[in-house]
Amino acid sequence: MARNLSMKDAINEALDLEMRRDPTVIVMGEDIAGGAGGQGEEDAWGGVLGVTKGLIGKYGAKRVMDTPLSESAYIGAAIGAAACGLRPVAELMFLDFMGVCFDQIFNQAAKFKYMFGGKAETPVVIRGMVGGGFRAAAQHSQMLTPIFTHIPGLKVVCPSNAYDAKGLLIQSIRDNDPVIFCEHKNLYASMADVPAEAYTIPFGEAAIPREGKSATIVAYGMMVHRALEAAETLAKEKIDVEVIDLRTLSPIDIDTVVESVEKTGRLVAVDEANPRCSIASDVIASVTEHAFKAMKAAPKAITAPHTPVPFTPALEDLYIPSASQIAEAVRKQMK
């Protein structure tokens, strides 16, 4: 039975169901229970934004582990435990913190299988917050998806809604490769109908939340909502836009985008990441290679600028790609 759930609760439910199903699933992270060693409640925080709230009560401190502030050590430990048969889900509060433990992720987890000639599996999930709009400034707001996507051996997921978040997280936990699971902090409160039971959404299958004939807008995460907003506006102007939600960035479902562009002839790729070597530029390059002949206008990337994320709302609102920028890009292509 489907209930209206927030993305935060959907993620919590995915963790809960998988922990119930599979005793090798453990979760760890800073303050994910939040009461370790104190005199107060064991589940004082349940994660900085409460995403893991309630899990320690059901599964105990053996499976829900508060960690010290040592990202290299505990992310590395999650990876090592994964290589030894557990399925750890490690929370890296803000994925911006990847800088201090990146070696464990891109030189260790991502490469074990290849370096060891195929004889290693590392079923770890590293999940955490991404994205702007929280006024959290330059070190707590980034969309680093292109950096993760660049690394062979990692899978990269970034859901745009509660339904996808649950299905994709369950898939991530059951998946046998290392997965970076990117949770947009501004989507935690977004609501969707979510079935109560466990279900998976396969990687590398984009969704088409809106069908259309005149132009294709590709997005992921928060930008899917901006793209849909732009599509609404354009519909009033009789411009019929298709919106594609990539859902996973590695693997990426380029086929669906190519098919769409072969139909519409126009492509706008939207990305909350910075412009250089972004998901948007990657999509445009691939689609241009495969569907050049079908293109009726030059493809266009709408991304954040090549700057750090600013703090002040006055600037952050300019930094994050807007529905009006997206709509304007499509209008130009229609001319």
Task: Using CB under 8 A, list all residues that contact another protein.
Answer: 26, 62, 65, 67-68, 70, 72-86, 88, 103-104, 107-108, 112-121, 152-153, 155, 175-177, 203-204, 251
Contacts of 23 (CB under 8 A, 6+ apart): 63
CB of 204 to another protein, least distance (A): 8
CB of 71 to another protein, least distance (A): 8
Q: What is the DSSP string of 80-134?
A: HHHHTT-EEEEEEEEGGGHHHHHIIIIIIITTHHHHTTT------EEEEEE-SSS
Select 53 or 63, whichever has its Cβ closest to another protein.
Answer: 63
C-beta pairs of 286-291 under 8 Å, 24+ apart in sequence: 286/254, 286/257, 286/258, 287/254, 287/257, 287/258, 287/261, 290/254, 290/258, 291/258, 291/261, 291/262
CB of 278 to another protein, least distance (A): 21
To the query of whether residue 140 is one of the catalytic residues in this protein, the response is yes
CB of 129 to another protein, least distance (A): 22
CB of 80 to another protein, least distance (A): 2
CB of 143 to another protein, least distance (A): 23
Residue 42: HSE in the Cβ half-sphere, 13 Å Cα cutoff: 11
Catalytic residue among 140, 184, 290, 306: 140
Point out which residues pair with 65 in neighbouring strands. 28
CB of 147 to another protein, least distance (A): 18
Select 106 or 188, whichever has its Cβ closest to another protein.
Answer: 106
Per the CB < 8 A criterion, the answer to whether 327 and 227 are in contact is no
Select 108 or 278, whichever has its Cβ closest to another protein.
Answer: 108
CA 162/CA 128 separation, integer angstroms? 15
Select 147 or 192, whichever has its Cβ closest to another protein.
Answer: 147
Select 204 or 308, whichever has its Cβ closest to another protein.
Answer: 204
What SS3 string covers 294-317?
HCCCCCEEEECCCCCCCCCHHHHH
Contacts of 262 (CB under 8 A, 6+ apart): 291, 294
Select 72 or 324, whichever has its Cβ closest to another protein.
Answer: 72
Per the CB < 8 A criterion, the answer to whether 73 and 28 are in contact is no
Where do the H-state alpha helices sit in the chain? 7-21, 55-59, 71-83, 98-102, 112-115, 145-149, 162-174, 223-236, 254-264, 279-291, 313-319, 323-334
Select 70 or 312, whichever has its Cβ closest to another protein.
Answer: 70
Q: What angle do CA 158, 334, 146 make, to 5 degrees?
A: 25
CA 267/CA 216 separation, integer angstroms? 5
Q: Which residues are catalytic?
A: 140
